[in-house]
Amino acid sequence: MVGVVPQSPSTEAEITATLRDLLATTKQPRIVASGNGAIPWELVRLIDATLPTYRLNILNAFPGLPWREGVVHETSFVGAGMRKSPGLAYVPARLSLVPRLFRRALFPDVVLLHTSAPVNGKVSMGIEVNVLPGAVEACKHRGGLVIAQVNPRMPYTFGDGEIAVEDLDAMIHVDSPVAMPARTDAPVDEVAQQIGEYCANRISSGATLQMGIGAVPDATLPRLTKLRGLGIWSEMFSDGLLTLQSSGALDPDRYVVASFAMGSEELLQWMHMNPQLRMVRTEVTNDPPRISRQPLMTSINTALQVDLFDQANASRINARIHSGFGGQTDFVVGAVHARGGQSMMALKSWHPKANVSTIVPLIDEPVTSFQHTAVITENGIAELYGRSEKEQAAALIENAAHPKVRDELWEEAAELGLA
């Protein structure tokens, strides 16, 4: 295998020489790197200093990426670090299918990992497993390079993110904080608290939870502390998990299963070498059949818009890509197929910045998901499962939409044949 003996830290000069040798005949190599809060910044800097042109594939990239001519930003989930990129290459895909892209279309030449320190001859991808095992396998199959940024501050987590040191082509050691933003900029205001209460009241002991990061999960999870036997099968989790853990709400006999995490230093410490936690690859966490087998599977997602046909747009604003499918479709499908499962779409009924209703007559953007169990806003709960399309539209207008747009929505519903 081409590469630097990785048992000791590699020098930047060694890695640079190896990269140039491997990629000498590749016009625009594809570099896949850990995303979210685990971007290996030192390796990204090294790549940018070595290669005049390349494609950088990262999920939900944070700001700070190289931004110059010759660098193409490529992703299936757009983060703030790529959102305004003029040369953005957005590749639409459900998150569960992204690893398949690496095998069939988006062939990686180099994979950059941000890992823990070695434990018993292995390092761990820590907080960010996600699509990376698939990327590593596809890269190795083609004779590419797998390089690790080894950081003692990255927690060692068990599961699919563990990789033998001998399987790395090179590694560098750093000692720097792991970027783990605890929440988005959305505050847990009174509206979010009301939505959180509606969501929490639909969850019972023994349920399995999937929810993301933001105001609604932050408002929902503290209201579940009196429940017992809760499980976590989620694309990701954040600090709200600690609230459930400390209250005794989590089932001690079930693994917490997720693919990536973002949160505080306290969360990192909880994750490190935790035998109750399994960080697994996206093909497992986001596989609808596996999701459907979880008891009382409860999925809570959000969207930019929901229309009267119960279609949700969580991806685009004025046709421009804002984020991507992510795992929403995977979990909506899995949850509604689970015994006793439910898929909740939770969102504020009014978008304050755009000053528009989030419940609209008909979405004119590409649809992210549809056929949810219920749509929940601060105004109430629109029960949708098993109802006719006219009943669904009526429930959305009367129970979820903002009161000042209900008359207009009824007029639009009549035009659409829904009233």
Q: Is 172 left (phi over 0), alpha (psi -120 to 50) or beta?
A: beta
For strand 162-164 and strand 110-115, is the pairing parallel, antiparallel, or unpaired?
unpaired
Exactly one of 74, 128, 162, 235 is catalytic; name it.
Answer: 235
- The span from the CA of 311 to the CA of 336, in Å, is 15
What is the DSSP annotation of 13-25?
HHHHHHHHHHTTT
Sheet holding 342-346, edge to edge: 231-232, 208-211, 297-301, 342-346, 374-377, 380-383
The Cα-based distances of 333 to 222, 233, 289, 329, 403 in angstroms read: 26, 14, 9, 6, 30
User: CA 128, 219, 306: angle at the middle one, nearest 5?
Assistant: 85
Q: Tell whether the torsion through CA atoms of 61, 66, 67 and 68 is positive or negative.
A: negative
The Cα-based distances of 100 to 93, 132, 307, 368 in angstroms read: 10, 11, 31, 20
- The span from the CA of 176 to the CA of 182, in Å, is 18
- The span from the CA of 150 to the CA of 205, in Å, is 40
What is the Cβ-side half-sphere exposure of residue 52, based on CA atoms within 13 angstroms?
A: 3
Q: Per DSSP, which regions of 193-289 are E strands?
A: 208-211, 231-232, 236-237, 256-258, 260-261, 277-279
Residue that is written with structure tokens 């669904």 in the block: 392
- The span from the CA of 191 to the CA of 254, in Å, is 33
- 212: nearest Cα among 232, 230, 193, 229: 232
Residue that is written with structure tokens 């459907």 in the block: 292
Q: Per DSSP, which regions of 182-329 are E strands?
A: 208-211, 231-232, 236-237, 256-258, 260-261, 277-279, 297-301, 305-307, 311-313, 316-317, 320-321
- 408: nearest Cα among 372, 369, 373, 357: 357
Is 69 in the active site? no
Q: Which residues are annotated as catalytic?
A: 235
